[in-house]
Structure 1
Amino acid sequence: MAGNPRNGRPYRRLVAAQKALGYPCARCGYPIDPALDARHPFSFTLDHAVPLSRGGSLLDPANARSMHRRCNSAKGNRTAPAPPKTSHRRWRW
């Protein structure tokens, strides 16, 4: 009986390698503090550019990118980039 592939050594190796690169969040662009507890909203998570539910590869480094836990949850299984953060304020000149 096979276990969860995300608990396997190859997946953990991919996560460690991606985290070691020190890239900022692929969604918001802010740095990711590697010392944060894994449950913290701004901790490191591995995101898949092409979600697994849409046929993306679990272990392909080209499909892996760094993301905050909160940003990854907000992205869900979408592949489109995040909508731009714009103000809805009406400016008066």
Structure 2
Amino acid sequence: MTGNPRTGRPYRRLVAVQRALGYPCWLCGHDIDPTLPPTHRDSFTLDHLVPLSRGGSLLDPANARSAHRRCNSARGNRLVTAQARASRRW
């Protein structure tokens, strides 16, 4: 495989599907504003339940989670065993 797999069509499609679900951040439980620019600290990012550096699948929807950019960055590649704050949205 050549190039960055995160810029390919399958990955972009997974990001679009996850964003369209409108789920809150799985780490902090707060809503994610879809109108924020991608570089904003509270913007949407696709996080992986099992980090890619620990063998998680890049394109598996079961491994994909919605997160704020700041929450995703703060988590790094650590495994999270419990959600920090539960969301009231089911």
**Does TM, normalized by the shorter one, top 0.5?**
yes
Q: What percentage of residue pairs aligned between the two structures are identical?
A: 73
The amino acid that maps onto 1:49 is L
- What is the rounded CA distance, in whole Å, between the counterparts of 1:18 and 1:4 in structure 2? 20
**In the superposition, relative to structure 1, how do residues 18 and 52 fare at CA in structure 2: closer, same or farther (>3 Å)?**
same
Instruction: Check 1:83–1:7 CA distance in 2 against 1; reply closer, same or farther (3 A cut).
Output: closer
Give the TM-score, by structure 2 length: 0.88
For 1:10-89, what aligned pairs fall within 5 Å after superposition?
A: 10-81=10-81
**More relative contact order, 1 or 2 (CA 8 Å, 6+ apart):** 2
> Root-mean-square deviation (CA), in Å?
1.7
Task: Say which SS state the counterpart of residue 46 (structure 1) adopts.
Answer: strand
Cα 1:82–1:13 shift into 2, 3 Å: same
Aligned residues: 85
Which runs of 5 or more residues in structure 2 are unaligned? 86-90
Question: Per-residue deviation at 1:81?
Answer: 4.3
Structure possessing the higher radius of gyration over alpha carbons: 1
Q: Which runs of 5+ in 1 are unaligned?
A: 86-93
